[in-house]
Chain A
Amino acid sequence: MAKETKKEPLIRLTKRDGMPAYKKLLIRCISLLMACVICGFVIYAITGLNPVEVYSTMVSGAFGTRTRIWSTVKEMMMLACIAIGLAPAFKMRFWNIGAEGQVLVGGIVTAGCMIYLRALPPIVLFSLMFVVSAAAGALWGLLPAVFKAKYNTNETLFTLMMNYVAIQLTSFFVAKWENPFGSNTVGVINQNSQEGWFPPVMGSRVFMSADIVLILAVLMFVYLKYTKHGYEISVVGESENTARYAGISVGWVTIRTMLLSGAICGLAGFMAVAGASHTISTSTAGGRGFTAIIVAWLAKFDSGAMLLISLLLAFLQSGAGEIASKCKLNSYASEMITGIILFFILGSEFFINFKLMFRKHGKEEA
């Protein structure tokens, strides 16, 4: 019956009350470093390249030339923009997995404007694209929100499915707008006249998108932190009962927040089409809608942190692309590396929230 042989458990966990900011930062940096070391090993194992050389190749791939810098910034801004859009929804604990679809529908209507309304004066065309892309994204976010508010329908799965409805919709329009015929792509829209393209500023068209995203980042920071809406989002995210007690209409806040969230994701689609690729395809969103969820989550919905994490991921993507082309491998290596790094950052949160206690010395370990 009684077991004398059993020993005290080797490691026990207790929840932490809190942790100083510098320690949190340290833990995150260590995890990032470890991830880089592991990635170095993986790359070495596959390509036989010296890991240090690999990282310097990556840096030059991401920041080596002016064009490369802009392309990295472009990638970063796309990710950040979607993450900013997702932040209010996730802060409200609404699992909006549907950014991919919201970006796509924003892209579709933007492309539609560029194709059918190219005759409009640029200012009017831009304003119109801005508005309709936001509206389309908002609509895509609205649907799951309404059902969540009214019938408590699971939003994670609903928004997930909406992605694929949007992808099929995109395929539909790609087939419709095909150019040249038989290519099954839309091609570069308004290749020569460049109607509806973002004008180049400081030598790059990315400049404008970057500005829009930075403005959005600041606005979102203020919105979440200092406005009544932001306060309501925090309360609803913490506890629906408290929200009802405070007289907050949970349903309305859900719907309003998802309208906003979807609209910003729609704008990301606008920037992807009008500001970057000037075409539309099912890969316009390219999985960024999913990656951005992780960005927003890891940043704890803080605008600055979202920009930083986006930069890190964009750097990885450009850098890994460089390695791939150097070694004649394909560019999916970047997704692999991104995955590994995300695992490490996700895992590091544990050491911030929990304390480990070891048997022998009962010593604390970060």
Chain B
Amino acid sequence: MQGFISLFQAAVFFGTVIMFGCIGEIITEKAGNLNLGVPGIMYLGGISSLAAVFIYEGSTDTPSSAVCVLLALLASFAGASFGGLIYAFLTITLRANQNVTGLALSIFGSGVANFFGGSLNTLAGRFEQISVPVTSAAFRQNIAPLANMGIIGKLFFSYGFMVYLAVILAIVTQLFMQHTMTGLNLRTVGENPQAADAAGINVTAHKYLAICIGAGICGFGGVYYVMDYIKGTWANDGSIEKLGWLSVALVIFATWKAKNAIWGAYLFGVLYWMYLYIPGLTRASQEIFKMLPYVVTIVVLVFTSLTNSREKQPPAALGQSYFREER
């Protein structure tokens, strides 16, 4: 039982990071843009929040938790959206290839983040390991009375607020896509930009907004990773990159529906941490087990291409740039 609880919790921690990334990427892809820059964007989101609260916590003796949280979220959204904006400008306005631009953004984002992550202390003239204790504690604050309610409390209420924010965002995104005019227009842009244009929808504006907001949400994945997952410090070990790519995989797994991202993310978490709970594994064979989320995604990918269901396909114009006067 104890094993189950800790696996469940580990899966939720892990799943929350990629759920943010996945929701952001779903919004982006629904507008017809395949942004392979998710890892870079998550990096940008993570480092922006870390840098902002690092400076804030260093500047005052009594940092306020609320200010810390707000600052972290705002900074990450701004940083990540900036990454999205670069991508949007290149692919929409300058019509560069989406895949290539996304990869360049991944390189750029990981460069910027790891550079500052590794140099923040040096630049600030301090020498210890970077840390933002107040912010991290605020992010990890669970719902105290509920979290102590035995197993139920441990399973469902022992997490920081970002875990619930992710689920809420997923539900809101799902409702937004299915039941609002703006959501419908956005999906039209991703399915058939010509049709959207002819219907008077501003394709460019919708794409820009979707990419920037999507990127901002991806950035929350970075914040959650930095503040909660690794407890308010920085690690140059490429984990965010790995998680970023898993988010992209999760979009496929969820068949472009935000509601599926919720359970999909936790399932990926379970698959990823399962090796810890299987007895008799050597350190080497554990690594084989860590392949599971990727292998499962491949299987899902193959399976969806086999079934060919109309409702489970990617947005029809995904990856194409739109030029009205094309002929």
Interface residues, chain A, with chain B CB atoms under 8 Å away:
13-15, 46, 95, 97, 147, 151-154, 156-158, 160-165, 167-169, 171-173, 175-176, 283, 287, 290-291, 293-294, 297-298, 328-330, 332-340, 342-343, 346-347, 349-350, 353-354
Residues of A within 8 A of B295 (CB): 161, 165
Q: Which of B67-94 contact A (CB under 8 A)?
A: 86, 89-90, 93-94
* In the bound complex, CA of A151 to CA of B308 (Å): 10
Q: At the interface, is chain B mostly helix, strand, loop or mixed? A: helix
Please name all residues of chain A whose beta carbon is closer than 8 Å to the beta carbon of B312 when the two chains form the complex.
Answer: none
Write out the residue numbers on chain A whose beta carbons fall within 8 Å of the beta carbon of B118.
329-330, 332
List which B151-201 residues lie within 8 A (CB) of chain A: none
Asked whether B105 lies within 8 Å of A350 as measured between CB atoms, the reply is no
Q: What A residues does B291 contact at CB under 8 A?
A: 164-165, 168-169
Cβ-closest chain B residue relative to A328: B122
Q: Main secondary structure on chain A at its contact with chain B?
A: helix
Check B302 against A153 for contact (C-beta < 8 Å): yes
Alpha-carbon gap, A95 to B90, bound state (A): 19
Q: Which of B245, B286, B305, B326 contacts A154 (CB 8 A)?
A: B305
The answer on a CB contact under 8 Å between B252 and A157 is: yes
Q: Assess whether A161 is in contact with B249, with CB atoms less than 8 Å apart.
A: yes
The answer to whether A293 and B294 touch (CB under 8 A), given A168-B288, A172-B285, A329-B119, is: no
B86 to chain A: which residues have CB within 8 Å? 343
A357 CB → nearest B CB, Å: 11
A148 shortest CB reach to chain B, Å: 9
B→A interface (CB under 8 Å): 34, 36, 40, 86, 89-90, 93-97, 99-101, 103-115, 118-119, 122-123, 236, 238, 242, 245-246, 248-249, 252, 282-288, 290-291, 294-295, 297-298, 301-302, 305-306, 314, 323, 325-326
Q: B13 CB to closest chain A CB, in angstroms?
A: 19
Complex CA distance for A152 and B115, rounded to whole angstroms: 40
B34 CB, nearest partner CB in chain A, Å:
7
Cross-chain contact B111 with A153 (CB below 8 angstroms): no
Query: Does the CB pair B105–A339 fall under 8 Å?
Result: yes
Q: A97-B99, A152-B305 are in contact. Are A329 and B90 (CB under 8 A)?
A: no
**CB atoms of A335 and B111 under 8 A apart:** yes
Closest to A148 in B: B305
Given contacts A14-B325, A165-B295, A335-B110, contact A329 B115 (CB under 8 A): yes
Assess A147 versus B96: contact at CB under 8 Å? Given A161-B297, A169-B291: no
Q: How far is the CB of B43 from chain A (nearest CB, A)?
A: 10
Contacts of B302 in A (CB 8 A): 147, 151, 153, 158
Specify the chain A residue showing the minimal Cβ separation from B94: A350
User: In this complex, what residue of A is CB-closest to B86?
Assistant: A343
The answer for the CA separation of A294 and B238 in the assembled complex, in Å, is 20
Closest to B305 in A: A153
Pairwise interchain contact A339-B96, C-beta atoms closer than 8 A: no
| Cβ–Cβ contact B36 & A97, under 8 A | yes
Q: Is the CB of A168 within 8 A of B298?
A: no
Determine whether the beta carbon of B97 is less than 8 Å from that of A297: yes
Q: How far is the CA of A158 from the CA of B299 in the complex (A)?
A: 9
Contacts A294-B100, A297-B100, A330-B114 given; indicate if A340 touches B287 (C-beta within 8 A). no
Q: How far is the CB of B321 from chain A (nearest CB, A)?
A: 10
CB contacts (< 8 Å) of B103 on chain A: these are 97, 290-291, 293-294
Q: A157–B248 contact, CB under 8 A?
A: yes
B306 pairs with A151, CB closer than 8 A? yes
Separation of A343 and B115 alpha carbons in the complex (Å) = 18
Known: A14-B325, A168-B288, A339-B109. 20 other contacts (CB 8 A): A15-B323, A151-B306, A153-B302, A157-B248, A160-B245, A164-B245, A164-B294, A169-B287, A173-B284, A283-B238, A293-B100, A298-B100, A329-B119, A332-B112, A332-B236, A335-B107, A335-B110, A335-B114, A337-B111, A339-B104
